[in-house]
């Protein structure tokens, strides 16, 4: 863990993971980009309305026996509702946990060499990834509403991107996010929210 001062208010901010690029200052509601061992002002955190959640920044949980600690919390709107993304530290690296209307999914990046070269974005279209056919089940625009904590990439409040959800034959899920000239693929799977357990402190 390293510390540096907020570029806006001067408060000391902790950077808990070496992969962290962006940290939200809890004191002045700004986001900071970590560059050259210092924080630089990036934007606003946005308004995060408090709702009951299984995940809280800095509080470890176990999912199916695997322990993870959320370091960052982002909220995204998709028109008819919103979902939360948590960037979590585990013993084996970092993962993303998505929570949408109580449904919980664990996701990890798809290795660049395994991402499909041709992608048909039409609903119902199939794409093969690592030998498995995935069907497009959802295509929407997401908008970042608010961020808290720290992240491996710059998330800006108000930023919009396209996303596509794909489903595999045995419950596997894949997500594609697209913005400007960039894209990111993620493998995932649904987990039983009743198997998310708090780790006693």
pLDDT > 90 fraction of the chain, expressed in percent and rounded: 47
Confidence of residue 111 (pLDDT cuts 50, 70, 90): confident
Q: How far is CA 197 from the centre of its chain?
A: 20
> Long-range contact list for 43-46, CB < 8 A, 24+ apart?
43/156, 43/157, 44/157, 45/146, 45/147, 45/148, 45/157, 46/75, 46/144, 46/145, 46/146, 46/147, 46/157, 46/158
What pLDDT was estimated at residue 50? 67
Residue 200: helix, strand or coil by DSSP?
coil
**Interacting residues of 171 by C-beta distance below 8 A, sequence separation 6+:** 189, 190
pTM across the whole model: 0.83
**Interacting residues of 189 by C-beta distance below 8 A, sequence separation 6+:** 105, 106, 171, 172, 173
CA pair distance 197, 201, nearest whole angstrom: 12
What pLDDT was estimated at residue 33? 80
> Which residue do the tokens 């700004």 mark?
30
Q: Report the range of poorest mean pLDDT among 33-37, 98-102, 195-199.
A: 33-37
What pLDDT was estimated at residue 68? 95
Confidence of residue 178 (pLDDT cuts 50, 70, 90): very high
* Higher-pLDDT residue of 97, 16: 97
What pLDDT was estimated at residue 17? 81
User: Residues 128-165: pLDDT tens digits?
Assistant: 988 899 999 999 999 999 999 999 888 888 899 999 99
What pLDDT was estimated at residue 44? 66
Q: Kindly tell me if the per-residue pLDDT of 47 is higher than 60.
A: no
């Amino acid at each position: 863990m390293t510390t540096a001062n907020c570029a806006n208010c001067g408060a000391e901010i902790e950077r808990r993971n070496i992969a962290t690029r962006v940290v939200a200052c809890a004191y002045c509601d700004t986001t900071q980009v970590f560059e050259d061992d210092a924080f630089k002002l990036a934007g606003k955190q946005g308004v995060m309305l408090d709702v009951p959640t299984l995940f809280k920044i800095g509080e470890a949980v176990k999912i199916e026996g695997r322990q993870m600690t959320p370091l960052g919390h982002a909220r995204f709107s998709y028109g008819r509702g919103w979902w939360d993304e948590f960037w979590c530290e585990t013993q084996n690296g970092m993962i993303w946990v998505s929570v949408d209307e109580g449904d919980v999914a664990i996701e990890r990046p798809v290795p660049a060499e395994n991402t499909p070269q041709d992608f048909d974005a039409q609903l119902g279209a199939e794409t093969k990834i690592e030998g498995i056919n995935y069907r497009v089940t959802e295509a929407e625009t997401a908008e970042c509403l608010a961020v808290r904590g720290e992240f491996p990439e710059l998330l800006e409040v108000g930023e919009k991107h396209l996303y596509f959800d794909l489903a595999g034959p045995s419950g596997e899920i894949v997500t594609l996010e697209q913005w400007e000239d960039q894209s990111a693929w993620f493998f995932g799977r649904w987990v039983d929210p009743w198997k998310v357990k708090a780790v006693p402190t």
